[in-house]
């Protein structure tokens, strides 16, 4: 009942209108840092996977076919579209002391809440790179 009284009063109308104007600003200021944090977490997971497989490549002497399939499955599990993902790697076998490398380039979708756009969401697609990381093979392939 009080709400109806506020709508009939001129000050009430201005209060409701100002609240409706300020609400999107408050929402964008509160949700955008959360969305940025989630994007940073996704990139950190990508980087962690690449570093993990580089360590595996060091001990196995390159990226084997089975490990490549596991790498693709891990990248798919974090949301990477494999049709837009490039994996630059040193294939198995790499002898002791030679260089192994691994790098992943993929497309990431960033979503932000925008006050100025009519839809409210601003979607941006960026190219994310993890690596290329280089290391030395620690396996004698001849053994």
pLDDT digits (tens, 9 = 90+) for 21-58: 777 777 767 888 888 898 899 999 999 999 999 999 99
Q: Average pLDDT of 111-130?
A: 78
Residue 132 lies in a domain: yes
Query: Domain of 62?
Result: 12-137
**Is 2 domain-assigned?**
no
pTM for the structure as a whole: 0.75
Percent above pLDDT 70 for the chain: 83
**Rounded CA separation 126/101 (Å):** 23
Looking at the 3D structure of the chain, how many domains does it have? Answer: 1
Residue 78 lies in a domain: yes
Mean of all residue pLDDT scores within the chain: 83
Residue 94: inside a domain: yes
Q: How confident is the model at residue 124 (pLDDT cuts 50, 70, 90)?
A: confident
Kindly give, in sequence order, each residue whose CB lies less than 8 Å from that of residue 72, ignoring residues fewer than 6 positions away.
82, 87
């Amino acid at each position: 009942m009080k709400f109806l009284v506020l709508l009939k009063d001129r000050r009430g109308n201005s209060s409701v209108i100002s609240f409706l104007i300020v609400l999107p600003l408050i929402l964008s200021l509160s949700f955008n840092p959360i969305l940025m944090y989630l994007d940073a977490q996704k990139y950190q997971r990508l980087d962690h996977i690449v570093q993990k497989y580089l360590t595996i490549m060091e001990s196995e002497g390159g990226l084997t076919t089975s490990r490549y399939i596991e790498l693709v499955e891990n990248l798919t599990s974090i949301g990477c579209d494999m049709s837009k993902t490039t994996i630059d790697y040193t294939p198995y076998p790499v002898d002791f002391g030679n260089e192994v490398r691994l790098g992943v380039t993929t497309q990431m979708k960033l979503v932000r809440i925008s006050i100025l756009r009519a839809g409210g969401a601003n979607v941006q697609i960026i190219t994310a790179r993890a690596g290329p990381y280089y290391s030395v093979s620690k396996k004698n392939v001849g053994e």
